[in-house]
Chain A
Amino acid sequence: MFVAADSGSALSLDLSPVDLVLMVIYFSFVLGIGFALKRAVKSSLDFFLSGRSLPAWVTGIGFISANIGAVELLGQSASGAQYGASMVHYFWIGAIPAMVFLGIVMMPFYYGSKVRSVPEYLRLRFDPKAHLINAITFVVGSMLIAGVNLYALSIVLEALLGIPLIFAIILSAAFVLSYILLGGLTSAIYNEVMQFFVVLIGMVPLTIIAIKETGGLGRLFDRLSAEHGAAFVEPWTGTGVGGSNPVGDWIGIILGLAFCLSFGYWTTNFAEVQRAMAAKDGNSARLTPIIGAYPKSFVPLITILPGMAALVLLPGIGTAGSGLEYNDAIPALMDKYLPPGVLGVAVTGLLAAFMAGMAANVSSFNAVFTYDLWQDYIRPGRPDRYYLVVGRWVTVGGVGVAVLTALIASGFSNISNYLQTLFSFFNVPLFCAFIIGMFWRRASRSAGFWGILAGTVTAVLVYALYKFDVLQFRSDLHETMWGSIAAFCAGALAMVLASLREPRKTDQELHGLVYGMEIRDASDTAARAWYRSPIVLGVGVLVLNAGLYGAVYAF
């Protein structure tokens, strides 16, 4: 955990007045956006889906930025220091192909069918049982993750301003609450766009200086390779079955990490898909994850790479007695190398990223709770205005629960592992239900529920067996990959068995929801310039990633 207080880590940043001024300016802008957008929120659709009105570049940056929270900045740099270059698999073979797949293949079903949330798709494609299980696990999961983000944010605030942790938690929560309450999803997305550029301005110079101080990439890699073995700097080395690469073997990486885990996360997590649903037309929705994939390809350069450089620049990091944990890598490097002014921008970016991460959880949580639980099962048939009011109250309640879960978030040594564990329970069986539901018309009503249930139980089971030392894996990450594969297979099997016992749904019931019956709007069917074509841009980013893998080996 990125903890100053309970680990005895003595990290505190040396901020000058100008840095504090920059922070205050930024956060006034955040609130200003909320107030400015308040006037544009009139219906529940405005509040939860930005009235389906945003251009692709805004939703695309929001898509990637919603994910740059505690996981990316601290977790991935910590993993970079701990596991080395292999962590790039999470991006280049994990996230990016999944985002391209979402944009090219799956988005027409989500956007064209006009469902308002990911669980709502399950309700229409399968039955209320599948819908409820997804809606409830999503609501619980988002609150846990919002708690993690809130906790990380509060730790940073505590270290910076010296205010008590509990007060820092409430202060950050109140901030997120106010701007979501005012402007809804649009407010969250606008802040994500602004935060994205600030993070970029803060992290890029940090990385450049860190590399310069270690004597260049070639020297850094040579030194780490000598100290930690070749697998530490070469992502594919030692990935044979039974090999030594800490992230795992190639089957686990390709099937577990890439296909199950990453596809599961990026294509079914409503916190992400919601950004694409807010796009103004079908083609913009499809472009959303693909536009996000381009900056995402370079995120490892500003997270994993500084984490690896920290091993050299901050001697002893991660060992007992150094006072620094792996999660401290980025803030400690900032403190050591960034001058006043630039430090303020970088720290602001860090805080903004945590805040945006939490805001993404809250803005997707309130949509699912309001539409999928309250409107569908508790109080149906009310005027739209009623659900807008409910949505605002749910936001208040959700932030309250996040404050409580922030206190739970300290059990694991690494934020990233903690979140990955959660995703492997919830997202992989879901992805299984979606992919089979979209491409196999024969999948029947109850197939979704049984697939999700069997997959989740399997994932939990594998995890429990690992924790009780019945099954052996190289690391938590390695377990997560194989647990995902097992969950996917169990889910698929359960779906097939359930479908064979039931009649299929009618074509009318499936219209817009399955392969061959997509509903595409004019923007998606008309001829368009190459730079607005999801396929051209999607293939482009895949080629870029292959090139980046090659570049790692060139050093």
Chain B
Amino acid sequence: MTSPEERPGEHGTDFWAKLFDIRSFTGALFLIFGAIVTVVGLTAGDADIRKSAGLNLALIIGPIMLAMGLFFVVWLLLKPPQLLHSHEVTEEDLPEQLRHRGLEAVPEHPGEPGTDPPPPPGRRRPGGH
């Protein structure tokens, strides 16, 4: 749990926050994997090639992974991620049948500016219905 100041993307200018997208992780992983496996393929011996039915498999899979990594990175750059922002739970997030029962869903600091408008005071009602 973090304080609000640490939340990424509150102002939309945090460069690192923008990178927190599944495409950047997957893209980076496959670029690294692709580079390693391609190098292994370039140095593959005859035994390795015989092992996999006469194919230099590493030299096929390596470049494919590089291409996949590149695909995710290009996709990320063309369509930058919407910032993942956390938000307080309000009654709007609950099923209709559960609202106004005082079950839960009351933000701890109603006055705190967040992504949702502050809830009206007095919403919290005692349980026991």
Q: CA A21 – CA B33 in complex, angstroms?
A: 10
Contact B32 A25 (CB under 8 A): yes
Q: Tell me whether A466 is interfacial, beta carbon within 8 Å.
A: no
What is the CA–CA distance of A190 and B24 in the complex, to the nearest angstrom?
11
Taking CB atoms, residues of chain B closer than 8 Å to A389 are 1
Find out whether the CB atom of B57 lies under 8 angstroms from the CB atom of A209: yes
Complex Cα distance, B89 from A273, in Å, reads 20
Query: Whole-angstrom distance between the alpha carbons of A44 and B6 in the complex?
Result: 18
Q: Render A177-202 as a binary contact track against B, CB cut-off 8 A, 1 for contact.
A: 00000000010001001100110010
Measured between beta carbons, the chain B residues less than 8 angstroms from A502 are: none
In the complex, residue of chain B having the shortest beta-carbon distance to the beta carbon of A340: B40
Nearest CB on B from A187, distance (A): 11
Q: How far is the CA of A41 from the CA of B2 in the complex (A)?
A: 8
Stretch at the interface among A26-34, A263-271, A484-492: A26-34
Q: Are B44 and A339 in contact (CB under 8 A)?
A: yes
Distance (Å) between the CB of B51 and the closest chain A CB?
5
Please report whether the interface of chain A is mostly helix, strand, loop or mixed according to DSSP.
Answer: helix
A512–B37 touching, CB < 8 Å: no
Interface pair B61/A205, CB less than 8 Å apart: yes
Report how far A45 CA is from B71 CA in the complex, Å.
32
Interface size for B (C-beta < 8 A) is 55
A385 closest partner in B (C-beta): B108
Q: Assess whether A384 is in contact with B33, with CB atoms less than 8 Å apart.
A: no
Instruction: Assess the A42–B29 pair: CB atoms within 8 A.
Output: no
Residues of chain B in range 97-125 having any CB-CB distance to chain A below 8 Å: 97-98, 102-108
A342 touching B25, Cβ below 8 Å? no
Q: A114 and B86 in contact (CB under 8 A), knowing A209-B52, A337-B51?
A: no
Whether A339 and B52, one on each chain, are in contact in the complex, defined by CB atoms closer than 8 angstroms, is: yes
Knowing A213-B53, A342-B61, A383-B106, the reply to whether A18 touches B87 (Cβ < 8 A) is: no
Contact with A along B60-94 (1 / 0, CB 8 A): 11101100100000000000000011111100011
Is A194 a contact partner of B68 (Cβ separation < 8 A)?
no
Residue numbers in B under 8 Å from A345 (CB-CB): 33, 37, 61, 65
CB A474 to nearest CB in B, in angstroms, measures: 37
Cα A201 to Cα B36 in complex, Å, equals 14
A512 touches B95 (CB 8 A): yes
Pair B62/A190 contact, Cβ less than 8 Å: no
**Which listed residue, B20, B88, B97, B126, touches A381 by the CB 8 Å rule?**
B126
Q: Is A141 an interface residue (CB 8 A)?
A: no
Q: Contact: A42 with B62, CB < 8 Å? A: no
Collect the chain B residues with CB atoms within 8 Å of residue A18's CB. 36, 40
From 18 to 70 in chain A, residues with beta carbon under 8 angstroms from any chain B beta carbon are 18, 21-22, 25-26, 29, 32-33, 36-46, 51-53, 58
Q: Given the interface contacts A29-B25, A381-B127, does A387 sit within 8 Å of B20 by beta carbon?
A: no
- B104, A338: Cβ atoms under 8 Å? no
Contacts of A26 in B (CB 8 A): 29, 33
Say whether A234 faces chain B, with CB atoms less than 8 Å apart. no
Residue A120 at the B interface, CB < 8 A? yes
Q: Is A227 an interface residue (CB 8 A)?
A: no
Which residues does chain A contribute within 8 Å of B41, judged by CB atoms?
Answer: 341
**When the two chains form their complex, are residues B20 and A37 in contact, meaning their CB atoms are under 8 A apart?**
yes
In the complex, residue of chain B having the shortest beta-carbon distance to the beta carbon of A212: B53
Q: Which of B2, B68, B103 contacts A39 (CB 8 A)?
A: B2
- Within B19-49, the residues touching A (CB, 8 Å) are 20, 22, 25-26, 28-30, 32-33, 36-37, 40-41, 44, 48-49
Q: Are B61 and A382 in contact (CB under 8 A)?
A: no
Residue of B with least CB distance to A346: B61
Contacts of A218 in B (CB 8 A): none
Q: Is there an interface contact between A509 and B106, defined as CB atoms closer than 8 Å?
A: no
Chain A residue numbers with a CB within 8 Å of B49 are: 339
Bound Cα distance A26, B36 (Å): 13
Asked if B58 contacts A339 (CB within 8 A), the reply is yes
Residues A384 and B29 in contact in the complex (CB < 8 Å), given A18-B40, A40-B84, A114-B93 = no
Q: How far is the CB of A60 from chain B (nearest CB, A)?
A: 12
A42–B65 alpha-carbon span in the complex (Å):
35
State the 10 A-B residue pairs at the shortest beta-carbon distance, nearest first.
A42-B86, A341-B40, A381-B127, A339-B48, A341-B37, A341-B58, A40-B84, A384-B89, A43-B89, A114-B95
Apart from A40-B85, A124-B98, A209-B55, list 8 A-B contacts with CB within 8 A.
Answer: A29-B25, A38-B2, A205-B52, A209-B52, A340-B58, A345-B65, A381-B104, A512-B95
Residues on A lying within 8 angstroms of B by beta carbon are: 18, 21-22, 25-26, 29, 32-33, 36-46, 51-53, 58, 113-116, 120, 124, 186, 190, 193-194, 197-198, 201, 205, 209, 212-213, 336-342, 344-345, 375, 380-385, 387-389, 509, 511-512
